[in-house]
Amino acid sequence: MNGIFSGAGLRRLRVMTHKELLQLFRDVALMVFFLYAFTGDIYIAASGVSMQLKNAAIATLDGDHSLASRELASRFQPPYFQAAGSAGTPRQAIRHLDDAEVMAVLDIPPRFGERLSRGEQVAVQLQVDTSNSVLGFLASSYGAQIVGRYGLEVAALREGLSSGGIAGPVIQADTRIWYNPNQNDAWFMGISEMLTVITLFAILLPAAAMVREKERGTIEQLMVTPLSAFQILFPKVIAMTLVILAGTAIALFGVLGPCFNLPMRGNLVLFFLITALYVFTTAGLGLLAATVARNLAQVGMLTVVILMPMLLLSGAWTPIEAMPEWMRILAWASPLHYFLDAAYGILLKGVGMALLWQPVLAMGLLGVVVFGAGMGRFGRQFG
C-alpha cells in the first residue's frame, strides 16, 4: 500500500506535477497571454491608470479682466491643472464642460479685482465635471485650496503684512507622508494589478487544466489508476503555483522594480511564501469551478464570475471599512482581502510576520476549506 508521502506516493506527485508543467508550457496561446498579463498589462496599469489629478484642463470665464482675476486664474497650474484658454460667455463655458473639452471652469465675476481691493466679500465659482467622482472631488478641493490661499494673501497684504507672516497664533498643518512619500500612484496601481493578475491565473490555470482532462476523457483514465483524488488534484495546484510565482517574480523584478522603482521594503521570501499560500487558496476555488464546468468556455465565464466579486470585496478599490455591514462580512471570506493586506504591508511598509500572522492564518484556513470542498465534489463526481 502506498501512502501519500511514501516513495511511490511522492513519485506520483512528482510525475503528475511534471506533466502539468509540460502541458502548460506547450499551450502557446496560454503562455503568451500569461507573459503579457505579468508584464505588459501591469506596466500599462502602473503607468497609465491614475487616481491622481493630473493636468486637468481648466477654462477661465473671466468677467473682470483685471490684474487680480488674471493672477487668480494663473494659479491653476500644472501638475494639477492645465490652463485650456478662456470662455467668452457662460453658455460657451457650459458647452466646453458638456463636450468634455475641459474638466473645470473658473468663473470670475465682474469687478472682482475692484471689490477685492476695497476689502469686500467676493465669490468665485468653480464648475467641475465630476463624472469621475474621485477626480472631480480632487479638482474641487484643490481649486478651493488655491482660491482660499489667494484670498488669504490678498487679506494679509491689505493688513500691511507680507504674505505668510501673520502675527498671532496660527495652526500650521504639517503633513508627513509615509510609505509612498511621493504619493506615487504607479506603486499602488501596479501592485493592485499584479494581485489581480495573480488571482486571475490562480483561478483560471487549475480550472482549465482540470476541465481539459474532462473534455479529453483522460480524467476517466486517471480514475482507474491507483491515484487518489488528492494525487490527481494537488499536482495541478503545485504546478500552477510554481508558474504563477515565476510570473510574479517577472512582474516585480522585471516591471515594477526597474520601471517604477517600487521599494520592496519587506522580506521578499516571506512575500513569495504568502503569495504561494494565496495561490493555493484561490486555486481551490478554480478546481471547485472546474467540477461544475463542462468545457473551457464555461471555465472562462466562471472565472469572471468568481474574480469580479473577489476584487470588489477585497478592499483593492474601496477600504473594507467604507462598505455596508453585509459586504464587510462577505469580505472576510475573500482570500484576496487578506493577501492585499499582506502584499501592501510587505512591499510598501516592510512589515513582517509579527503583524501578518492573522491574515495568513485566515488565508490558510480558507484554502484548506475550499480545497477540501473541491476534492469532495471531485470525488462525488467521479467516484
Partner 1 sequence: MNTPTSPAIRVEGFAKRYGKRLAADGLSLTVQQGEIYGLVGADGSGKSSLMKAVAGVLAFDAGTVEVFGTRVDSARSAERVKQRIGFLPQGLGLNLYPDLSIEENVDFFGRLRGVAAAELAERKRQLLEMTRLDAFRGRPMRQLSGGMKQKLGLVCTLIHEPDLVILDEPTTGVDPVSRRDFWAILGKLLEEKGITALVSTAYLDEADRFHRVSLFHEGKVMGEGTPAELVAQVPGTVALFRAEPQAEALLRLKAAFPQTEAMGPWLRVFAEGLDAAGARETVGNALTGILPTDWFAREPELEDVFVAMLRQRGAQLESAFSAGSHMPAGATDLAIEARGLTRIFGDFRAADAVSFTVPQGEIFGLLGANGAGKTTVIKMLTGILKPSSGEGRVAGADMRSAGRAIKERIGYMSQAFSLYHDLSVVENIRLYAGIYGLDERQARLRSDWVIGMAGLAGFENDAAGRLPMGLRQRLALGCALVHEPRVLFLDEPTSGVDPIGRRMFWDILFHLSRREGVAILVTTHYMSEAEHCDHLALMYAGRVVADASPEAMKAGIAAESGQLVELRVDHPVPAQAALRAAGFASATLHGRSVHLLSRDAATDLRRLPGLLAEAGITVHSADLRPLSMEDVFVHRITALEAADRRAS
- Residue numbers at the binding site for partner 1 (CB under 8 A): 1-2, 8, 11-12, 14-16, 18-19, 22-23, 26-27, 216-218, 220-227, 382-383
**Least CB distance to partner 1 at residue 288 (A):** 21
**Least CB distance to partner 1 at residue 291 (A):** 16
At residue 79, what are phi and psi to the nearest 5 degrees?
-80, -15
Nearer to partner 1, 139 or 375 (CB): 375
Nearer to partner 1, 8 or 35 (CB): 8
**Least CB distance to partner 1 at residue 382 (A):** 7
**Least CB distance to partner 1 at residue 20 (A):** 10
236-273 burial code (b ≥16 CB/10 A, e <16): bbbbbbbbbbebbebbbeebbeeebebbbebeeebbee
Nearer to partner 1, 78 or 226 (CB): 226
**Least CB distance to partner 1 at residue 15 (A):** 3
Q: How far apart are CA 243 and CA 240, in angstroms?
A: 5
**Least CB distance to partner 1 at residue 222 (A):** 8
Q: Is 104 helix (H, G, I), strand (E, B) or coil?
A: strand
Nearer to partner 1, 11 or 118 (CB): 11
Nearer to partner 1, 85 or 226 (CB): 226
Nearer to partner 1, 25 or 253 (CB): 25
**Least CB distance to partner 1 at residue 126 (A):** 58
- Give CB contacts under 8 A, 24+ apart, made by 360-367: 360/274, 360/277, 362/332, 362/338, 363/274, 363/277, 363/278, 363/281, 363/335, 363/338, 363/339, 364/277, 364/281, 366/281, 366/333, 366/335, 366/338, 367/277, 367/280, 367/281, 367/284, 367/335
* Set of cell numbers at residue 1: 500500500
Helix axes 7-26, 229-250, angle to 10 degrees: 50
Nearer to partner 1, 183 or 225 (CB): 225
